[in-house]
Each structure stands twice: as structure tokens, then as C-alpha cells.
Amino acid sequence: MSSTWFTVGQLADIPRLGAKVVHWQGTPIAIFRTQTDEVFALEDHCPHKQGPLSQGIVHDRKVTCPLHGWVIALDKGTAMAPDEGCTPGYSVRVTDGVIEIEMKHLDALPPTATA
């Protein structure tokens, strides 16, 4: 397994308590910005009925799904009680106002000997 860091955009592009969406190999990923400028990334699917978390209301380190009001922790991707479930998360970092996200991928097959 190796990984690549992709540039997602400027921190300033996302409003505080807001989100934006990027796609990776067909999967939508929501990038959230909190009031204190922390940034988190989760797959943009609520564990309940796949609602787009990116469209929810962000508060503290949580987001409330717009479809049925499940509350998901941004740092862990877990649903708050009494709901149960988890959404995959991704590592993100902010350097000089630029957000980057880490995508893990299987290494390419080792080069085979060629004639």
C-alpha cells in the first residue's frame, strides 16, 4: 500500500461550518471545515440511508445528515447514539491554506522482467 496526497483546494474556498465535495474513483468525499478551521474528510454517505453528509449542518466536530437527522462525528465517522454506524474517513492536512487529502491505493504490480 502506498498513498498519494492530492490538493483539494484552498481552505478559504469552504465556508466555516461548511463543506465541499470531491470525487475519487467515483466515490464522493465530503471535506468539512469547522468553526475553528479544523478540516475533516468523510465519504459523502450517511451510514443510515446514504444521505449526502456534505449538505448537512456542521456544528462543533459533528455534522447532521440532511435526510433524517443522524449526527456523525467528523473525526471518527461514527454515528452518535442511539444511532449506530460508521462512515469511512480520510486523512487531510492543511499547509499554508491549501487542503490536501491522502488517498491510499494498492501498489502497482512489481515490474516483471521483460525480454
Partner 1 sequence: MIRPRLIVIGNGMAGMRTVEELLKLKPDLYDITVFGDEPYTNYNRIMLSPVLAKEQTIPDIILNDENWYAEHGITLHKGVRVERIERKKCEVITRDGQAHPYDRVLIATGSRAFIPPLPGADLPGVVGFRSIADVDTMLAVCREGGHAVVIGGGLLGLEAAAGLVSHGMNVTVLHRNGNVMDRQLDGVAGRILEKTLEDRGISIRLNAHTASLHGTGRVESVRLKDGTELQADLVVMAAGIRPNIDVALNSRIYCENGIVVDDTLQTYDPKIYAVGECVQHRKECYGLVAPLFEQAKVCANHLALYGIAKYTGSMTSTKLKVTGVDVFSAGEIQAKPYHEEMVLADAARGVYKKVILNNNMIEGAVMVGDTMDGAWYFQLMRDKTDVTALRDHLLFGQAHVGNSGHGAKARVASLPDSAEICGCNGVCKGDVVKAIKEHKLFTLDEVRARTKASASCGSCTGLVEDLLASTLGGDYSAAPSVKPMCGCTDATHDEVRTGIIRHELKTIRTVFDQFSWKTEDGCAKCRPALNYYLLCAWPDTYQDDAQSRFINERVHANIQKDGTYSVIPRIWGGVTSPSELKAMAEVAERYAIPTVKFTGGQRLDLLGVKKEQLPHVWRDLSAAGFVSGHGYGKALRTVKTCVGKEWCRFGTQDSTALGIRLEKLTWGSWMPHKFKIAVSGCPRNCAEATVKDLGVVCVDSGFELHVGGNAGIKVRVTDFLCKVATEDEVVEYTQAFIQMYREEAHYLDRTAPWIERVGLPYIQRRLIEDSAGRKALAARFIHSQQFSQTDPWTERAEGKDAHEFAEPLVLA
Q: Which is nearer to partner 1, 47 or 56 (CB)?
A: 56
Taking each continuous run of H as one helix and of E as one strand, the counts in the chain are 0, 10
Dist CA 72 CA 74 (whole Å): 6
Contact characters 69-98, partner 1, x per CB under 8 A: x-x---------xxx---------------
38 binds partner 1 (CB under 8 A): no
Write down the least CB distance from residue 113 to partner 1, Å.
Answer: 30
Asked if 20 touches partner 1 (CB under 8 A), the answer is yes
Binding status of residue 48 toward partner 1 by CB under 8 A: no
Cis peptide before 82 (omega within 30 of 0): yes
Q: Which of 43, 40, 30 has the alpha carbon at shortest distance from 93?
A: 40
